[in-house]
Structure formats: C-alpha cells, structure tokens
Amino acid sequence: METSQKLIGKVALITGGTTGIGLATAQRFVAEGAFVFITGRRQAELDAAVQLLGSQATGVRSDVASLPDLDQLFARIKEEKGHLDIVFTNAGGGEFAPLGGISEAQFDKEFGVNVKGTLFTVQKALPLLRDGASVVLMSSNAGSTGTENFSVYSATKAAVRSFARTWTADLKARRIRVNAISPGPIDTPGLNGLAPDAATAEHMKGFMMAGIPLGRMGQADEVAKAVTFLASDDSSFITGTELFVDGGMTQV
C-alpha cells in the first residue's frame, strides 16, 4: 500500500471498523501514520481486526445505538490518548422492505444505528475532538436516489447527509470540518448480506452494475482512500459537502 504518512500523529475513531469499508479505512489510516480506535459489536471479529491492524489500533466492543456503550468508548479513548483528531461514523446497516411491509422494529433498528448512533457518536466525541479536527459521516448514494423497497435506509442516509450541513454550521467556531461520504454499490460483506443467499446476491450485484457508468462494483479500499482524503489536510478547505464514491451512478 503506497502512502505519504498524511495522518502521522493523528488519533482516529472508526465505528463499525471490523469489516468492509470500516476495516479498509482503518488499514488505510494506520498505513498513513494514525493511531486508530475501532468499534464493533462482535468480540471475535473485533479481535481479528485488531490483530490485522497491529499495534497502532485498539478495539472497543461497542454498539453505537447504546448510549452507555458510547460513554464507555469515549472514556477509554480519553484514558488512553486524551483526544481525537478524526471521527469516521461508519457503523450502520439496512434491509429491503416494500412500503406496506415495513415493521416498527426495522424502522427503530435502522434509525437507531444510522441516525441516533451517528448523532450521539459525534456529540459525545466533541469534548475530545481538537479544534480543526475532521468528522466524516457515512451516508450513501441511496440518500439521493429512489431505490425501490429501500425507503427506511435511504431516509436514514438523507438525514446523515443533512447532519454534515448543520454540524458544519454548529462547529464552525472550532474549525471542525464535517463531511459526508456517499458510496454506491461496494463489494463488501454488508452488501452481500442484503441478499438471502449467494445466488441472489450475485443477481442483485449484476442489476446494480448495469446502472454504474464505470461498469463495475466499487471496492472497500476505494472508499477508504476517499475517507482518508476528507480526514486529512488534503481537504483543508472542504466542509459541509457530500463526496460520492459510486462510479458515477448518482451523477448520470
């Protein structure tokens, strides 16, 4: 992995950092010189990710939808490092359901993780964030398009994109930059998990690729590179924006 050590000396938090985009971003951050805290809900996956990342990473089992878990997370970060320079709110998820078949449990779960979890992760990070820090919010191109049977997830990601605007205004006095990253279809375990079996997953990905101008699925490290850009001083005059990493899918 070619790097320029653009995050040397930085302390970062990545929620949902055990697999997919979160893990790829953690690898990229560590390679660029950062110390990274990652979270996950499953201890075995968390341990495996930390082993892969090495001595520049700490894993903390945490559910972003649980405020007591978040309190413990930030107490750990404060004790070990004392501050944060970067927060990437990657934890999230969703499932397909047609209008008319959406359950209250699905609504509460997706808004609990994607919206509530994002809000309170950033709010509770504020005392540790240095002035001039960077916050990157995981949105999705689904927040800007009308994907059939995906209304709850899409609404959560539209809310996250709105946070990037309003928090930019809220935090301007501290020069904390807040941006949203909006991937399209990325070949990750999370995407494959939307389908009930492997054959359906391949069919789903084929359908998605037909709408991507670049003609292929994205890879997790391609998103990680974009997050690293927004987290670093390379994007020092960029805030409140949404960066699409979707092969042109939303723009054409």
- How far, rounded to the nearest angstrom, does the alpha carbon of residue 227 sit from its chain's CA centroid? 9
Residues with catalytic function: 153
The 3-state secondary structure of the chain reads CCCCCCCCCCEEEEECCCCHHHHHHHHHHHHCCCEEEEEECCHHHHHHHHHHHCCCEEEEECCCCCHHHHHHHHHHHHHHCCCEEEEEECCCCCCCECCCCCCHHHHHHHHHHHHHHHHHHHHHHCCCEEEEEEEEEECCHHHCCCCCCEHHHHHHHHHHHHHHHHHHHHCHHHCCEEEEEEECCECCHHHHCCCCCHHHHHHHHHHHHCCCCCCCCECHHHHHHHHHHHHCHHHCCCCCCEEEECCCCCCC
Q: Minimal CA–CA distance to 74: which of 118, 123, 134?
A: 123
Neighbouring CB atoms inside 10 A of 172's CB total 13
Q: Minimal CA–CA distance to 109: which of 59, 45, 66, 69?
A: 66
Backbone angles phi, psi at 105, to 5 degrees: -65, -40
